[in-house]
Structure 1
């Protein structure tokens, strides 16, 4: 049973945290999307492409990326990524950024850590004077779609994303920042 009164801490991630983010990325991706993959090798290849420690280190080093790590009683349980100056086919304005990732280990979802990560990320986007923020969500991830809808994100279009031979449908959402 998860301790609902655990001490939650969120901080900016550094390159030294790349191994934690890579591991959290693999585990949370499996928890959320692993069931969609009939060919487990495709999933393993995707991990190597997306969640290698080297890839995460390089991503953290980019000036346009900001990562956060969330801890519950000092255990790393989630992370978030904000991509600055990020346009999409639906939003071409330079004052847009992207909420690229918020992932929390399944056992810790009830602690509202995703909400806290989102708040920190949105605050940073506003501090940096961005006017809009957008994100993409798998169309069948109802939990995430409901989460973002409740927090003021509105649909702006659909697109697909390919992993291996399979294409997955995504919905793009955006939020106007004050």
Structure 2
């Protein structure tokens, strides 16, 4: 990539809920438009990616980060760690609920730096990091495998009232 922008990853708080909501909806739409029902995508983003949902996660102790580029610190990615909501979770686990980056910036060191930031934060007091990923999202699956995640099960995931198949992945943090 030529003329790659100056960028940073920074912790996000409740005051960043609007930016988290915006980049969450935009990256989710970018990732799944044409693969997942369009009306379901819109309904999912309205319900799951509202600013209030991010405020609630943060109020409950979740950790979030924004990846931003110059000029003006425009958000282009984000990550969210929270207490596990996955059924395969066990004591000592933490969930990487969301990690997305606009496709324009994928394949750069931004994504790996985001993952390293999340992994380092999760390692403090936790034994495994879990996440769910659409079972045919080969690019994401390859990225997670590169970072040491392994498939431990499956689940169904609801997007606007329609269900899709996910793999549940885990990364052992004890190493």
Would the TM-score normalized by the shorter structure come out above 0.5?
yes
CA distance in 1, matches of 2:36, 2:123: 37
CA distance in 2, matches of 1:53, 1:122: 24
User: Which secondary structure state, in structure 1, belongs to the residue aligned with residue 157 of structure 2?
Assistant: strand
Structure-to-structure mapping, 1:51-66, within 5 angstroms: 51-63=49-61, 65-66=62-63
CA distance in 1, matches of 2:81, 2:147: 16
Structure-to-structure mapping, 1:12-51, within 5 angstroms: 12-38=11-37, 40-51=38-49
User: Which residue does 1:155 correspond to in 2?
Assistant: 151
User: Which secondary structure state, in structure 2, belongs to the residue aligned with residue 36 of structure 1?
Assistant: coil
Structure-to-structure mapping, 1:1-178, within 5 angstroms: 3-4=3-4, 6-38=5-37, 40-63=38-61, 65-73=62-70, 74-84=73-83, 86=84, 88-92=86-90, 94-127=91-124, 129-177=125-173, 178=175
Q: Tell me the matched-pair count.
A: 172
> Structure 1: any 5+ residue segments left out of the alignment?
none
The ranges of structure 1 where at least 4 consecutive aligned residues each deviate by more than 3 angstroms after the TM superposition are none
| TM-score of the two chains, using structure 1 as the length reference | 0.89
Using the TM superposition, give the Cα deviation of residue 87 of structure 1 relative to its aligned residue in structure 2, in angstroms.
6.2
> Structure 2: any 5+ residue segments left out of the alignment?
none
CA contact (8 A) 2:82 2:95 kept: yes
Alpha-carbon displacement from aligned partner over 1:125-176 (angstroms, at most 9, x marks no partner): 112x111111111011100000000111111011111223421000011111
